[in-house]
Chains A and B, each alone.
Chain A
Amino acid sequence: MHTLPQQLANGLFIGSMYGLIAIGYTMVYGIVQLINFAHGEIYMTGAFGALAVWTNLPDGTSIWLALPLMLLGGAIVSVLIAIAAERFAYRPLRGAPRLAPLITAIGLSLALQQAIFLWYPGADNAKSFPQLPGGPYHVGSISIQSGDIFLVCAAVVCMIGLAAFVRTSRTGRAMQATAQDPDTAQLMGIDTNRIIVIAFAIGGFFAAVAGLASGLKYGQVKYDIGFQAGLKAFTAAVLGGIGNIYGAMLGGLVLGIAESCASAYVSNIPGMQQLGGGSWANVWAFVLLIVVLLVRPQGLLGERVADRA
């Protein structure tokens, strides 16, 4: 078990990424009760937006100088796609049976994936992504890459910023009201369409941060990275209690740590030698989801549905 601190750290890093993406699922669900299954692709396009900026910078540009520009580029792409998806794909279906926007989301997801595959030069193979210099750093027995530090710091800053925004700003209060009772929010003078757009935009921005961070961490991006990351982040959002922003982050961290520890240690259990290793990580992630939902259907921090009435 001497590798435990390292496994926990690895889980924390990947979990921060799940959490950042999960925020987008949970905010949109909390306000319009829609699972935006295209959100994984919004994360993927954010990564490509950042990469496009890097590719177009002059050779020899310092990565530290490029980083804010890459974030800006990724954010513009992700936020615009998120807003356009709301406006043109989901808004016309508001009030339609729930299956309709769900199928639309899956279609949109495929369309975005194929658009990058076809039009981004060389995206059919893994594209190499710049990496942060320095590292690995050693803390006790834990080894940490520069990209991991960026990822965790970005997640912390984003989460604190979002919590402050929701709790203290006028728009944040309007979001809470819209999530709890959209019709009555309108009676207060709140433009709920605007609030919904803002929720999509914030989710898009967080996805772009995650996209940039994952490129830096893994050193490559591909057109299909959104599918699995999106699925994991959706799992994290449900695990934490969908609709709750703190739950999304917590769900991401719990999922990341569980995955990382399970792939390292399950094979040590007598009789389960076959079930360890990284290829089983997904299995353990969903086993965890099933167990939590059996015991606590509303998720870790979710409120019971009865509270909405």
Chain B
Amino acid sequence: MTALLEVEDLRVAYGKIEAVKGISFSVEEGQIVTLIGTNGAGKTTTLRTLSGLLKPVGGRVSFNGKALTRVPAHRIVALGLAHSPEGRHIFPRLTIEQNLQLGAFLRKDAAGITKDIQRAYDLFPILGERRKQAAGTLSGGEQQMLAMGRALMSQPKLLMLDEPSMGLSPIMMQKIMTTIVELKSQGTTILLVEQNAQAALSLADQAHVMEIGTIKLSGTGQDLLHDEGVRKTYLGED
């Protein structure tokens, strides 16, 4: 069986500077796969390339059997790949409900959309309470919930989450991580980029450690969680 997402020798550059220098990995259906690593390792660049916002200079990406690298960004979500970007990027002057509706921009089934908005409110009750409020007035954690809820509105086969825990309180972070596991149990495949390596590794099936544009180490989440090098470099232990 082939993987849902297959990345082969992907290279991405900003001008002459290569930010991703030939990485390969795959994501099987139903898995949580995580990319961890420090700032500037190329994790966000990788996700932005997969969703079409950046064009690679080399390599292949296939998603659900289809080559992705030449598909424009606005067509990729229709294939079942949703991206919740780093820094949340909710639409600040639209309401929470309008943000969620935009997540379903390409869907035509009004009844299904209404049902999924309700599902997002069940998942994150605070969003339901504030549905008519401008999204820019939400706290960081609430905006993160909205960004996740919005990405789910396209009914993705694969959900890419970039730094969902960034800037959140420990309680809020716990909530987000629990939600990721919940989404997996409902059948959503997840590609998670995180700086919080501890949290990411403890729930990942597969994990890859990125360092200055390359994948240095790969294994199951548990393997890497107990790897001495990883513990020293990313989990802050001596």
8 A-B residue pairs with Cβ-Cβ distance under 8 Å, sorted by A, are: A173-B102, A176-B94, A177-B102, A185-B102, A188-B106, A189-B75, A303-B93, A307-B136
In whole angstroms, what is the CA distance A188 to B91 when docked? 11
User: Which of B53, B74, B94 makes the CB contact (< 8 A) with A190?
Assistant: B74
Question: Within B84-110, which residues are at the interface with A (CB < 8 Å)?
Answer: 85, 89, 91-94, 98, 101-103, 105-106
Most chain A CB atoms below 10 A, which of B74, B82, B105, B106: B74
| B51 on interface, CB distance cutoff 8 Å | yes
User: Which of A170, A181, A189, A308 makes the CB contact (< 8 A) with B74?
Assistant: A189
Closest to B147 in A: A184
Total residues of chain B contacting the partner, CB 8 A: 26
Closest to B52 in A: A186
Quick one: CB contact mask for A62-93 with B, threshold 8 Å, 1 for yes?
00000000000000000000000000000000
| A183 on interface, CB distance cutoff 8 Å | yes
In whole angstroms, what is the CA distance A288 to B134 when docked? 32
Q: What are the residues of chain B within 8 A of A186 when measuring CB–CB?
A: 52-53, 72-74
User: Which of A176, A191, A192 makes the CB contact (< 8 A) with B91?
Assistant: A176
Min Cβ gap A129→B in Å is 41
Q: What are the residues of chain A within 8 A of B82 when measuring CB–CB?
A: 187
| B78 on interface, CB distance cutoff 8 Å | yes
Across the A-B interface, give the 10 residue pairs with the lowest CB-CB distance, nearest first. Answer: A186-B73, A189-B106, A184-B89, A189-B77, A188-B105, A186-B74, A191-B74, A180-B91, A189-B105, A188-B102
Q: What are the residues of chain B within 8 A of A176 when measuring CB–CB?
A: 91, 93-94
Q: What are the residues of chain A within 8 A of B72 when measuring CB–CB?
A: 186, 191
In whole angstroms, what is the CA distance A116 to B89 when docked? 45
User: Do residues A187 and B73 form an inter-chain contact, with CB atoms below 8 A?
Assistant: yes
User: Do residues B154 and A189 form an inter-chain contact, with CB atoms below 8 A?
Assistant: yes
Which residue numbers of B lie inside 8 Å of A, CB to CB? 51-53, 72-75, 77-78, 82-83, 85, 89, 91-94, 98, 101-103, 105-106, 136, 150, 154
Identify 14 new A-B residue pairs, CB closer than 8 A, beyond the known A173-B102, A183-B53, A183-B85. Answer: A181-B89, A183-B73, A183-B89, A186-B72, A186-B74, A188-B103, A188-B105, A188-B106, A188-B150, A189-B74, A189-B75, A189-B77, A191-B74, A303-B93
User: Do residues B91 and A190 form an inter-chain contact, with CB atoms below 8 A?
Assistant: no
Q: What are the residues of chain A within 8 A of B154 when measuring CB–CB?
A: 188-189
In whole angstroms, what is the CA distance A308 to B150 when docked? 19
Q: Is the interface of A mostly helix, strand, loop or mixed?
A: helix
In whole angstroms, what is the CA distance A173 to B101 when docked? 10
Q: What are the residues of chain B within 8 A of A191 when measuring CB–CB?
A: 72, 74
In whole angstroms, what is the CA distance A185 to B74 when docked? 8
Q: What are the residues of chain A within 8 A of B93 when measuring CB–CB?
A: 176, 180, 303, 307
Contact-residue bracket for chain A: 20 to 34
Q: What are the residues of chain A within 8 A of B106 when measuring CB–CB?
A: 188-189
Q: What are the residues of chain A within 8 A of B89 when measuring CB–CB?
A: 181, 183-184
| A174 on interface, CB distance cutoff 8 Å | yes
Q: What are the residues of chain A within 8 A of B78 when measuring CB–CB?
A: 189
User: Do residues A192 and B74 form an inter-chain contact, with CB atoms below 8 A?
Assistant: yes
In whole angstroms, what is the CA distance A189 to B101 when docked? 12
Q: What are the residues of chain B within 8 A of A173 when measuring CB–CB?
A: 94, 98, 101-102
Most chain B CB atoms below 10 A, which of A184, A188, A190, A307: A188
Min Cβ gap A95→B in Å is 12
Q: What are the residues of chain B within 8 A of A308 when measuring CB–CB?
A: 92
In whole angstroms, what is the CA distance A18 to B119 when docked? 47
Closest to B98 in A: A173
Closest to A309 in B: B92
Q: What are the residues of chain B within 8 A of A181 when measuring CB–CB?
A: 89, 91
Q: What are the residues of chain B within 8 A of A185 when measuring CB–CB?
A: 102
Q: What are the residues of chain A within 8 A of B101 when measuring CB–CB?
A: 173
Closest to B106 in A: A189
Q: What are the residues of chain A within 8 A of B150 when measuring CB–CB?
A: 188
In whole angstroms, what is the CA distance A303 to B93 when docked? 10
User: Do residues B91 and A184 form an inter-chain contact, with CB atoms below 8 A?
Assistant: yes
Closest to A195 in B: B74
Closest to A184 in B: B89
Q: What are the residues of chain A within 8 A of B85 when measuring CB–CB?
A: 183-184, 187
User: Do residues A177 and B94 form an inter-chain contact, with CB atoms below 8 A?
Assistant: yes
